[in-house]
Amino acid sequence: MRKVKITIKAITNYKQLSNEYELPIKDACPYKIGDSFIVDNLDKPDNLCSSAWQVLYPYIMTLLYGGENIFGQWMKNKNSAMVSCNDGFRPVSFYLEAIDDE
């Protein structure tokens, strides 16, 4: 079975929105650009945010089971997807890439 590598590619922070609408949260998003996770089944990696997992799961499942071109012809790599979490204050962009079982 394939595996899917999840790599953090970008982290945005809308401080104006956070200041205006969000209650203070300590350590809301512990990721750094370049952090990565490997998914070799349909279980959430231990250190991956549950909310991000909910968004990523359908794409990961598709890639794990051989799906390609999830976004039509948008991606240079047909076995990948760029997906952002649904955090409106600090969205994180995740690059998902199917990799062969080594």
Q: What is the pLDDT of residues 47-91, one digit of tens each?
A: 999 999 999 999 999 999 999 999 888 899 999 999 999 999 999
Question: What predicted TM-score, i.e. pTM, was given to this entire model?
Answer: 0.91
Please report, for residues 3, 36, 43, 61, 92, the alpha-carbon distance to residue 79 in angstroms, rounded to integers and kept in the order given.
11, 17, 20, 12, 20
First to last CA, the chain: 10
